[in-house]
Chain A
Amino acid sequence: MTQAPASSPPPQIVARDLTKTYRMGDSVIGALQGINVEVERGEYLAVTGHSGSGKSTFMNLIGALDTPTSGSLKIEGRELSGLSSDALAQYRNEKIGFVFQTFNLLARTSALDNVALPILYSHRAGKGDAREKARACLARVGLGERERHQPSELSGGQQQRVAIARALVNDPHILLADEPTGALDSRTTDEIIALFEALNESGITVILVTHERDIATRTRRRITFKDGLMVEDTK
């Protein structure tokens, strides 16, 4: 498939009739019931909704942590459904950076080694000096002097910064954050959100999943889920 050079590049994320259903005993739960959405490169997007609305499922599908039941999901022109588990692992490694509510850092492992973890699984030629790269990412999130510290020696905000540095270490195109400030106080929340804004400025697509309205209002675009359907898009 060739694209006419004059036309604008295709959207980074294209979802068409995307559904995801879970089977729980005899009943089938529709977590996503036909989602159509497009996200451009470099967007700053909030995904909101109540718990169980399908917003986390949507994020997990984009991050290839889960596979859709039906429909099409194209990331940078490539259809995700049908890819092998190895190809999905490589996609997560190279294109996606994850930030979780509970940080998910490896315990009793230094901040630097935590940040360098994705490089361990990278198959890109010329990985370079993994530690140097990890160090640069830690500096980027303002934790340059804490590389020897273990997660238990860091505050919640600092731990989340380490997790963000880990998400950045393989130069991802899309940063996926699932309730990244859910476990943080309001001052730290502001710092983390400011960090996301700065990263978005540098060209990374940032998708924030949150149920906190005041965070959602700070992004340029907001989509809202309800009962597995998209009910609002402020595009």
Chain B
Amino acid sequence: MSPLAAFKAALAALRLNALRSFLAMLGVIIGVASVIVMVSVASGAGQAIEQRIRALGTNLLVIQPGSYTSGGRRAGEGTALALSESDLAVIRDKIPGVAAATGIVSGSAPIVVGNTNWTTSIDGVGDDFLEVRDWALTEGRNFTEAEIRSGAKVVILGATTARELFGEEPVISQQVRVMNVPFTVIGLLAPKGQSGFGTDQDDTAVVPVSTARRRLFGAEKTVPDNLKRIMVEVASAEEMSDAQSEIETLLRSRRHVRMGTPDDFQVRNMAEFIRTRSETQSILSLLLGATAVISLIVGGIGIMNIMLVSVTERTKEIGLRMAVGARRRDILSQFLIEAVTLCLTGGLIGLAIGGGAAIALSIWGAWPVALSPGLVLIAVAAAALVGVFFGYYPARRASLMNPIDALRYE
């Protein structure tokens, strides 16, 4: 019997008992639909989180001074000896694998335009800040090296800050005042959205680092070229941990941290952060997937049950088919194909329902959903596999019948 003829015969046999076939399929339909919805929602959420973390800049190391300890009192993060421009220069020049590095002086101050004002975080940065943060400009230009060196009174606004100050009006070449110092807006940052920590990254403004030190936040007495943090972009993800440990060794010696005492600075690895997050995510996907697979197995048991009933009911037919020349394997494949057809049909219906639900969730539920062709393929293949696995036992039982006993069965 050719596979196509067998498939047609299977469809015809299933149509004879349409309601029962549908009820048997229901388990597989629900199983496949839940596989599709659960996995696509889980991986959609994962992708959204990863995208937000990636918006921080990937392959990024963030260095901050640690806490200052005096007489047993620990002052908290960032209170230890500040980092300096020379730290930055050494990291940029001596550490292998560093693609770019930038130092940041930051603070918070109100920005005034006419009679409106908006208090935001202001970062004093170098000209490679945009590259390190992987941040594009929607309008205007980056700082020039001369502006950085001379402490020019120019500012690049974040999207949120610009909207709060200017609304929809153009911002380039506008004048703003920060702590009574007039600044010219030269650029507008592209929106980056929320950070992985839930803060609005676009609520910011950047100025040249020397300007920030000289005109806004002042320099520290002990470290006149102070930096609040240093951001390092490493060329590749593989070099991250090497670069991190070399920076730690270098800074310990530069800051005279004694052997056996902890670092008085922190190096945070953003890639590691992403990895942790995505690991959490994949565990979540796995759990949801497992739940869905269990429902698929339950569906498969339903198929097995109905196939056993069908084999018993059609014992006489099996006997007749054997009498007119069907071999054992013909009978086996007939019932196996029936079970697979049942599961595949259920799988396709489940796919339509699950895919529809996933798409509806993404449109009306504003839920990030990732419905990949791979997932669709896996779900359909899983349904077919369930058919083979749970259809084999009933089909084998049919094929092993004795022709004369089957024919005489009442």
> Do the beta carbons of A98 and B327 come within 8 Å of each other?
no
A-B CB contacts (within 8 Å), total count: 57
Contact with A along B128-139 (1 / 0, CB 8 A): 000000000000
Contact of A86 among B328, B404, B407 (CB under 8 A): B328
* Known pairs A66-B403, A118-B324, A121-B327 / 20 extra A-B pairs, C-beta < 8 Å: A63-B323, A65-B323, A66-B402, A86-B327, A86-B328, A89-B322, A89-B326, A89-B327, A89-B330, A90-B325, A90-B327, A92-B323, A98-B323, A98-B324, A104-B320, A106-B317, A108-B16, A120-B1, A121-B326, A170-B325
Which of A103-129 touch B at CB < 8 Å? Answer: 104, 106, 108, 117-118, 120-122
A65 touches B324 (CB 8 A): no
* A120 lies within 8 A of B5 (CB): yes
Does B192 make an interface contact (CB < 8 A)?
A: no
Quick one: given A106-B317, A121-B326, are A65 and B5 in contact (CB under 8 Å)?
Answer: no
- The answer to whether B321 has its CB under 8 Å from any CB of chain A is yes
Verify B323–A66 contact, CB threshold 8 A.
no
B316 on interface, CB distance cutoff 8 Å: yes
Residue of A nearest to B328 (CB): A85
Do B324 and A92 have beta carbons less than 8 Å apart? yes
The answer to whether A65 and B403 touch across the interface, beta carbons within 8 angstroms, is: yes
A77 to B326, CA, bound (A): 23
26 A-B residue pairings within 8 Å (CB atoms): A60-B404, A65-B322, A65-B403, A65-B407, A66-B402, A66-B404, A86-B327, A89-B327, A89-B328, A90-B327, A92-B324, A94-B325, A98-B323, A104-B319, A104-B323, A104-B407, A106-B317, A106-B320, A117-B321, A121-B1, A121-B324, A121-B325, A121-B326, A122-B325, A166-B324, A170-B325
Q: For chain B, what secondary structure do more than half of its interface residues adopt (helix, strand, loop), or is it mixed?
A: helix
The answer, yes or no, to whether A93 is at the interface (CB within 8 Å) is yes
Chain B residue total in the interface (Cβ 8 A):
21
The distance in angstroms between the C-alpha atoms of A31 and B113, with both chains bound, is 111
Q: Write out the residue numbers on chain B whose beta carbons fall within 8 Å of the beta carbon of A92.
A: 322-325
Residues of A near any B CB (own CB < 8 A): 60, 63, 65-66, 85-86, 89-90, 92-94, 98, 100, 104, 106, 108, 117-118, 120-122, 166, 170
Nearest CB of A to B100, in Å: 72
CA–CA, A105 and B379, complex, Å: 39
**Which residues on the B side are within 8 Å of A104 (C-beta)?**
316, 319-320, 323, 407
Closest to A95 in B: B325
Within 8 A of A (CB), among B315-344: 316-317, 319-330
Q: Beta-carbon contacts of B1-16 to A below 8 Å, as 1s and 0s?
A: 1000100000000001
A118 near B325: Cβ-Cβ < 8 Å: yes
CB distance A85 to B317 under 8 Å? no
**With the chains together, A166 CA to B403 CA distance in Å?**
18
CA distance A90 to B321 in the complex (A): 12
Question: What is the minimal beta-carbon distance from A203 to any residue of chain B, in angstroms?
Answer: 21
* Bound CA–CA A89/B399 (angstroms): 12
